[in-house]
Amino acid sequence: MSTSSETANIIENMDNLVGDGTLLRFQPFSSCLDPNFWFKVCQLKLDVDKLEEVHRSLIGYYDSKSSPFVSLDCSSFNQEVNYETSSKYIAHGHCLNKNTIDSFKNCDKNELLKEFGERMLNDFRSGKAIEDPSIIPVFDILMYSDLKKFIFYYWFAFPSLANPKYYLTDTPTILKNTFSAAQFDLLVSGFQNLNINQRGFFGVVSTDDGNLKVMTLKQYIDVLQNNVENDFTNYLVFADPSDLLNNPGWPLRNLLYLILLHCPSIRNSVLRVIALRGSPTSKFSTSMLFNIKLSSNIEMGFQPDDIAFVGWEKNSKGIFCPKYVDLSKTMDSKKQARESVDLNLKLMKWRIAPDLNLDVIAQSKCLIIGAGTLGCCIARNLMSWGVRNITFIDSGKVSYSNPVRQSLYKHAHCINANTYKATAAAEALREIYPEINSKGVVMSIPMPGHAANIDDHENINLLSELIENHDVIFLVTDSRESRWLPTMLSTLHNKLAITAALGFDSYLVLRHGVVVQDVSTNEKKLGCYFCNDVTAPGNSLVDRTLDQQCTVTRPGVSSIAGALAVELFVSCIQLKYNAPANATSCLGVIPHSIRGFLCDFQQIMPCTPSFFQCIACSLKVVNDFLNNREEFLLNVFRNPNYLEDLTGLTDLKNKFENIQILELNDSDVEDSETYNDQTVTAID
């Protein structure tokens, strides 16, 4: 009694042995994708295609060494052929990357295959495939990319015509039984003289005297179309990826249809087909010869109503269904972090802010002066925006009160009170994101009115160098006088400076330092933190009670101010720093300053120009620093009033003190009519 498998084999053999001969079956292609192919898919989806579902052109490669695979890698997206792979044969295709997993699952696969096949058939009918035979073995990829998890779902199709059917007139034989060694040499020589686009499909003519000539596919078709009796034998040749003895590879299926489409006169003839196997080095020694004819119903498959397509790839279990690859487990953790960090930022460009310049943000070098509550908040927000270079300046050490408010520190930093904030903050950023370039500089900021800073030339030089070598300076120290020198140096080096200052329930964030171009006034500089003051900063650290020594604010104020400082920087840099007050970038309005009040949850955005007598950013102060540096700094550190004297604020205040205001009342008025028109008179 026969088994079920034996019964299946008998039925299959009966199907194969029909009246026209043995039914010819083709070995299907299989896909082989290098992991770097998917990284290129990620890049194109994020940066180029975004929400568009486009058919993107691809180039794949296969060989004739018993390997029925079409291989793709990151170079497959190039429009030109990679001649380094000239030992392989070319296949052209497209990929369609769906936006959602649901659209990937629910799209009509039959209609999609029909669309793929019609595109191929148009190339066949137009003769384009004859001119460039590399487009005969086509493929298409339907895919969905989960860019968060690095999981990719895909389904290959190798479109081909379902009809007509082809038959073998006899058993396939090894080509060595037909060709001599000399003819093999001529075959290899002619093959190597063909263009790489022609090597997958061409023709061969063999004469009775043993001569052999290799010709292009177009020349071969011309020979068939002329239909002239000659004393030679012609062969159709294709690079065969099949590893099966009696079954040629999938490319032959499309080639036969193309030949019979353009040469209908030979549809009753037997085609001699050489399945080129092996390589030129081995002289294609394993090549096979197939004698193939069309079914008796020669019009089947060439009439419009008979056209149907096959070609979806089966999985490893022989089932028609998509495949998927999970690269998250094979990726380097640092690379995975880098790709994931950039993901959310690049998604902004898909819909919301297509003109957002992320590169200029990532390349910016940011200097944070003050590694306290504000400094930690600013650093975290800068990282969220993709900034890769952050430097901290601070001389303090982490105390037990810090970790709950300052997000970069832990309890372990407080033990023994021996951990500097600057270095701990820089290290914390690297722990969060290993790819970041973060540094911590432990130094005190020389301050006006602090006599101890008189000989502190080293820190002054270092601070000036750091400001000069960075693109944006965040001034977030905890005292007014510590902001003076960075403010002045930012003006000197024409650097964007952003100051954030806190009150109990209020905050101030403003930008200054860099000169901006203004159409109405040619050049204009926005007011700095000191421009609205008429008092020079002095030593505010002496004689202070405990509540004055600590930064006493509502906890949420620092987070708001820190976030606004970073957003102000990101908006400003979109215009390459040339942003007058209330200019507009792709992210919206760029104010000069932002003042907020949590007591009534109000926020205003005032704008003030630079003050020509400012004790920090005025031309007089900057020039005196440049021309009389040592004497200037000596006076600033020793005498708290020196800056007021230098800029003329002392004289200005004296003038106001000498002003007398006379108020008139009824008893001072003799004429009641004059009283009706009286004004307040000021006598100098």
Helix (H, G, I), strand (E, B) or coil at 314: strand
Is residue 261 within 8 Å of 225, Cβ to Cβ? no
What does the block give as tokens for 646? 């230098």
Q: Which residue from 486, 153, 477 is spatially nearest to 323, judged by alpha carbons?
A: 153
Tallying the residues shown for the chain, one arrives at 684
Q: Which residue from 388, 390, 385, 410 is spatially nearest to 400, judged by alpha carbons?
A: 410
DSSP secondary structure of 569-604: HHHHHTTTT---TTEEETTEEE-SEEEEETTTTEEE
Tell me 45's DSSP state. I
CB-count burial class (<10 Å; 0-12, 13-18, 19+) for 654:
exposed
Q: Which residues of 94-129 are buried (b: 16+ CB within 10 A; e: fewer)?
A: bbbbbbeeeebeeeeeeebbbbbbeebbebbeeeeb
Instruction: Give the C-alpha separation, 192 to 280, whole Å.
Output: 8
> What type of residue is 551?
T
DSSP secondary structure of 478-526: SSSGGGHHHHHHHHHTT-EEEEEEE-SSEEEEEEESSEEEETTTEEEEB
Crossing angle of the two packed helices 373-384 and 421-432, in degrees rounded to 10: 20
Instruction: Give the C-alpha separation, 280 to 297, whole Å.
Output: 39
- 550 belongs to the catalytic site: yes
Is residue 275 within 8 Å of 187, Cβ to Cβ? no
Instruction: Give the C-alpha separation, 422 to 456, whole Å.
Output: 20
Is residue 659 within 8 Å of 681, Cβ to Cβ? no
Is residue 162 within 8 Å of 309, Cβ to Cβ? yes
CB-count burial class (<10 Å; 0-12, 13-18, 19+) for 167:
buried
Instruction: Give the C-alpha separation, 587 to 66, whole Å.
Output: 57
Is residue 565 within 8 Å of 509, Cβ to Cβ? yes
What Å distances lie between residue 314 and 9, 95, 323, CA to CA?
Answer: 21, 18, 9
What Å distances lie between residue 87 and 196, 379, 393, 556, CA to CA?
Answer: 9, 52, 58, 65
Instruction: Give the C-alpha separation, 584 to 586, whole Å.
Output: 7
> What type of residue is 136?
I
Instruction: Give the C-alpha separation, 548 to 434, whole Å.
Output: 38
Catalytic residue among 321, 550, 599, 607: 550
Q: What angle do CA 546, 549, 553 make, to 5 degrees?
A: 95
H helices of 149-291, in order, are 181-193, 217-226, 251-262
Catalytic residue positions, numbered: 550
